[in-house]
Amino acid sequence: MRTIGVGNTGMILATMFAQKPLLFSTAKEDSTNFNNKFDVRVYSKDGASKRFKVGEEIWTENIDKVAKDLAEIKNEKVIIFSSLGGGSGSSSLNPFSQILLHNGNEILIFAVLPYKKEINPPLSNAVQAINSLMPIIAEVSVMLFDNEKLLNMYDNDWTKVNAHIIKRADYIVNLLRKYNDNDYSPLTLDQSELDSVIFGGGFLDFSDTFLEEGMPKFEYGSMSKDTKNCLIAMYVDSSVSSKKLDLYHKDFTEVLKKTSGRIPRARLIPGILRAKVNRSNSENPKVTDRAYITIASGLGIEKYLEKISKIRDVAIEKAKGYSKEYKGKTIVKEHAGEILDI
């Protein structure tokens, strides 16, 4: 498995996630913090000025060099970290994905949405970045993190926000490698099954809803007939006896029956994992020895488009206001609005 970070935020997250990530930058200043410790490829001195179109031009001008730098990555699973608000990372996702797909790789993108107060150009960049991925969304997996929610959750502490993103990414990718004690289980999972979900293409999301009490609640997506892949795991505390575990297997079967009705076309992959259970998320405080996690990919895009459409509308409105205030006329003409229209 290979890890790539593009742009300043993407490079920070990639270096937190992996020991030897491959980093890409369009600004000499952004790469300064990483040059002595990591493999950094710099394609421009001045950067993308936090503008999607400028970044897109830089990658287009250097596409042969990018292809050469990515040529060594073939037939592998690739993790890409990027902010959607900056110019470098947001504009890299389509060309990088196209090259990596051509080389036979599977791709999972962890992308960070800007918070509202960043206004433009970050909001506009985010919409254009996701728009650029739509033609290949079935071939790459994309998981979004919303800085608006994370900053509220962690009281504007960027260190905690980044730690949250990495913890969630690590949990999803290394669910079996790091978070499973391999004790007795009547229903096991293997790494290839997990990989088939997280690299299955489309929008990816995670839920830790206690499924005996309700359906999975995701950040944006929802279970529907359009869902392509779904992994549901019951975590049972390692201290639970085999006899009691077999009883929980019955409960899990009922959960699977209930859930499968919502995703009639999906590949449903169930499993019972063993580990120390710290939190069940059950409304019943007496339930402390089991929990659930759901990872789904190929989720219906309606809720994602609804979220991005709201960002698009704000971005266009602010762009119009900017142009009127400083230029005396609107520079966002009809065709420019269409660029943001996903």
Tell me the helices (H) and strands (E) count for the chain, helix number first. Answer: 13, 10
Q: Where are the CATH 3.40.50.1440 domain residues in the chain?
A: 2-173
Confidence of residue 342 (pLDDT cuts 50, 70, 90): very low
Task: Look over the chain and give the mean of its residue pLDDT values, rounded to a whole number.
Answer: 88
CATH number for the region 2-173 comes to 3.40.50.1440
Confidence of residue 32 (pLDDT cuts 50, 70, 90): confident
What are the C-alpha distances in Å from 117 to residues 63, 92, 220? 33, 24, 20
Helical ranges in 134-284 per DSSP H: 147-153, 158-173, 175-178, 191-198, 242-260
Measured between alpha carbons, how far is 294 from 273 in angstroms, rounded to an integer? 12
Model confidence, pTM: 0.88
Is the pLDDT at 316 greater than 70, yes or no? Answer: no
Which of 258, 339, 334, 342 has its CA nearest to residue 301? Answer: 342
Helix or strand run (H / E) with residue 48 = none
At 307 the pLDDT is 72
Measured between alpha carbons, how far is 260 from 225 in angstroms, rounded to an integer? 10
* Backbone torsions φ then ψ of 322, nearest 5 degrees: -60, -45
Q: Which whole number is the average pLDDT over 182-189?
A: 92
Say if CB 48 and CB 87 are below 8 A apart.
yes
The sign of the dihedral angle between the CA atoms of 29, 33, 37, 41 is: negative
At 339 the pLDDT is 54
Confidence of residue 12 (pLDDT cuts 50, 70, 90): very high
At 114 the pLDDT is 86
DSSP string, 54-122: HHHHHHHHTHHHHHHHHTT--SSEEEEEEESSSHHHHHHHHHHHHHHHHTT-EEEEEEEEPPGGG-TTH
Percent of the chain past pLDDT 70, that is, above it, reads 89
Is the pLDDT at 323 greater than 80, yes or no? Answer: no
Q: Which whole number is the average pLDDT over 122-133?
A: 86
At 313 the pLDDT is 73
Q: Per DSSP, what are the bridge partners of residue 146?
A: 113
CATH classification number, 200-297, choose in 3.30.1330, 1.10.3720, 3.40.120, 3.40.1000: 3.30.1330
Tokens 């493999």 sit at which residue?
A: 39
290-297 and 229-237 as β-strands: parallel, antiparallel, unpaired?
A: antiparallel
At 332 the pLDDT is 53
Measured between alpha carbons, how far is 10 from 89 in angstroms, rounded to an integer? 7
* pLDDT tens readout for residues 54-82: 899 999 999 999 999 999 999 999 999 99
* Backbone torsions φ then ψ of 135, nearest 5 degrees: -65, -20
Helix or strand run (H / E) with residue 129 = helix 122-133
* pLDDT tens readout for residues 243-271: 999 999 999 999 999 999 889 989 999 99
Q: Where are the CATH 3.30.1330 domain residues in the chain?
A: 200-297
Say if CB 238 and CB 276 are below 8 A apart.
yes
Confidence of residue 278 (pLDDT cuts 50, 70, 90): very high
Say if CB 215 and CB 259 are below 8 A apart.
yes
Q: Which whole number is the average pLDDT over 14-32?
A: 88
Q: Which whole number is the average pLDDT over 85-98?
A: 93
Is the pLDDT at 331 greater than 60, yes or no? Answer: no
Is the pLDDT at 129 greater than 70, yes or no? Answer: yes
Contacts of the segment 151-160: beta carbons below 8 A, 24+ positions apart: 151/115
